[in-house]
Amino acid sequence: MSLSAAELQALKIFAATIKNCQRMQPKFAAGTAQASLLTNRIRALRVITALVGQNEARFDAATLAAAVAPIDSIIHKTTTARAKYAPGTAMYRRLTPMITAMTLGQQALRAQLAAE
């Protein structure tokens, strides 16, 4: 089964976001809220990467459920940030693909949860 252009773009955005989160991890002490947030975010992004990429990876219901909140958080934060900018501005255009990708991942995640 081949991937659509939107799914390929989403996978690129997921990979870039994972890379950015991993780069930030050393800046926070282990056990802090920020470190936990990044760890949970990376884990959730890996789950939706596998789901959108249609990998054969299997996740239990607890792993899928744990991935919902970080993805919802990313969507909320980027949507809130984008609302501060006028359509057509550089920041608006930068945030829109992220929202689209995360929404696609969120849909795949919720579909997988419903199938469990």
**pLDDT tens digits for 57-88?**
788 999 999 999 999 999 999 999 999 999 99
Q: What digits encode the pLDDT tens for the residues 8-49?
A: 999 999 999 999 999 999 999 999 999 999 999 999 999 999
- Cα–Cα dist 111/105, whole Å: 10
Residue 71 region by backbone torsions, left for phi larger than 0, else alpha for psi between -120 and 50, else beta: alpha
What predicted TM-score, i.e. pTM, was given to this entire model?
0.92
Enter the DSSP assignment of 4: P
Q: What's the Cα-to-Cα distance from 78 to each of 17, 85, 89, rounded to whole Å?
A: 12, 11, 15
